[in-house]
Amino acid sequence: MSVPRFAVIGHPVSHSLSPRIHAAFSHQTGIAMDYGTLDAAPTDLAAALERFHRDGGAGANVTMPHKRAAAALCESLADRAERSGVVNTLVRTATGWRGDNTDGLGLVRDLTDRHSQDLRGRRVLLIGAGGAAHGVAPALLDAGIADLFIVNRTESRTDALADALGEPARVHPRYFRDLDTLGSFDLIINATSIGHDADGSELPLPGSLIRRRCDVVDLAYGEAAIGFLAWARASGADRLIDGLGMLVEQAAESFELWHGVHPDTDAIHDELRAEHPIGSIGR
């Protein structure tokens, strides 16, 4: 009996930790799977997925820059993928690809379970309106936050995300020119590359965004998150969290969609954290 094939598809994708994470889940659960990487340029996504299916592909994770395009290629979408408009998990059915999105639940699980965050009633700033922001915004609302302010460099994308979420009472599109007037937040999430090429000292963000006991998250992990988290620490943030935990948790949700078993995430998270020691940093 052949081992089912799975992969993470992106461009570039060779750096991805997903094969290692899923190998750990496979070993832990005793569920055999062949999980690799699939590099596809944006113009080759549809053909790459078709080749993957013909070669026995049963499911895939989707990363940059394909999350929106992958949704358009799906024969059906889970409710949370329909709501977010982006896909990070594909499941092959008898009639085509079914798209889902586990990013938001992965982030919420990391914040609530691993970092003991209570998201209910919090005033949240989401920086970015691309695929990553689309993936996490619905889950934040479902977790009970009080207000979600969205800022992005491209104003039309900010408005599009706010419109897609469909909750005008809680979702507030704003623009970078408004940052000085937004007040302070309980939680700030960076879903962009802001700060990823800097030391955090010249970010276009006012320290007034951070209120007492504000927590700050960068959805990137490791060195890429250093600049933004350095800005947050210098501005007085209470707790700094990078995206490694979210990466592991969203992978576990994908694994469960494919195999019907939810793996334990602590061992592989701790192993990867030892190699990428940014994570949650106290003042």
pLDDT tens digit string along 121-170? 999 999 999 999 999 999 999 999 999 999 998 999 999 999 999 999 99
Per the CB < 8 A criterion, the answer to whether 218 and 230 are in contact is no
Measure the CA–CA gap between 176 and 80, rounded to whole angstroms. Answer: 28
Tokens 């570039």 found at: 12
Superfamily per CATH, domain 5-101: Leucine Dehydrogenase, chain A, domain 1 (3.40.50.10860)
- Residue burial 106-145, b: 16+ Cβ < 10 Å; e: rest: bbbbbbeebeebebeebbbbbbbbbbbbbbbbbbbbebeb
Residue 260 assigned to a binding site: no
Choices 3.40.50.720, 3.40.50.10470, 3.30.2140.20, 3.40.1390.20: CATH for 104-244: 3.40.50.720
Measure the CA–CA gap between 132 and 192, rounded to whole angstroms. Answer: 8
Measure the CA–CA gap between 59 and 54, rounded to whole angstroms. Answer: 12
Q: Look up residue 233 and give its two tokens.
A: 């620490």
Tell me the average pLDDT of the chain.
93
Q: What percent of the chain has pLDDT over 70?
A: 95
Per the CB < 8 A criterion, the answer to whether 88 and 250 are in contact is yes
Residue 182 assigned to a binding site: no
Q: Look up residue 282 and give its two tokens.
A: 């106290």
Residue 23 assigned to a binding site: no
pLDDT of residue 223: 86
Active site residue 67: yes
**What separation, in Å, do the N-terminal and C-terminal C-alpha atoms of the chain show?**
53
Residue 243 assigned to a binding site: yes
Q: Which of 22, 66, 67, 83 is catalytic?
A: 67
Residue 61 assigned to a binding site: no
Per the CB < 8 A criterion, the answer to whether 73 and 97 are in contact is yes
pLDDT of residue 282: 43
Measure the CA–CA gap between 141 and 282, rounded to whole angstroms. Answer: 26
| pTM for this prediction | 0.94
Residue intervals of the chain classified under CATH 3.40.50.10860 are: 5-101
Per the CB < 8 A criterion, the answer to whether 281 and 233 are in contact is yes
Residue 18 assigned to a binding site: yes
Measure the CA–CA gap between 112 and 246, rounded to whole angstroms. Answer: 11
Q: Give the type of residue at 56.
A: G
Residue intervals of the chain classified under CATH 3.40.50.720 are: 104-244
Residue 99 assigned to a binding site: no
pLDDT of residue 2: 82
Low-confidence ranges of the chain (pLDDT < 50): 199-201, 279-283
Per the CB < 8 A criterion, the answer to whether 192 and 152 are in contact is yes
